[in-house]
Amino acid sequence: MAEQQSNTVDELSTGVEANPDEVDLRRSLRESKPTRKLLQYTEERSKHKERVFSILYDTFKSSLLDIRSRIKRDCTEDELYEFQEVLEVQYRKLVSAYDDLRTHASIINLSVYQSTQG
């Protein structure tokens, strides 16, 4: 009964009777080629993400070195906790920027590869 209902829903949404053995999705055979403007836009976004990552990395590195020098002196437990919080927040921002950069770089590499193949 549930299978009949799901087939009916598929038939209504696609207008074609659903075949349970057919699992391939319909895809276009047309090759995707990015335009010059899209490539320029992705390059600008890539440069921006690299710049953001670089700034966050430099900030994290300088904070880490500063906190390292402060820890060498006597510190209270509250100060140590504050140092830890600062580093954790900056580390999370750095990892997030790195993930964005990596994701964007993989998209760029794919689009450049596709544009050179055609």
* pLDDT tens for each residue of 1-55: 544 554 544 445 555 555 555 566 767 788 878 889 988 888 898 889 999 999 9
Report the distance separating Cα 11 and Cα 86, nearest Å: 56
pLDDT tens digits, residue range 41-55? 888 988 899 999 999
Please give the Cα distance from 102 to 46 (Å, whole number). 10
User: Does residue 98 contact residue 53 with C-beta atoms inside 8 Å?
Assistant: yes
* Tokens matching residue 14: 């696609």
The DSSP code sequence of 72-115 is TS---HHHHHHHHHHHHHHHHHHHHHHHHHHHHHHHHHHHHHHH
pTM of the model: 0.60
Q: Which residue has the higher pLDDT, 28 or 91?
A: 91
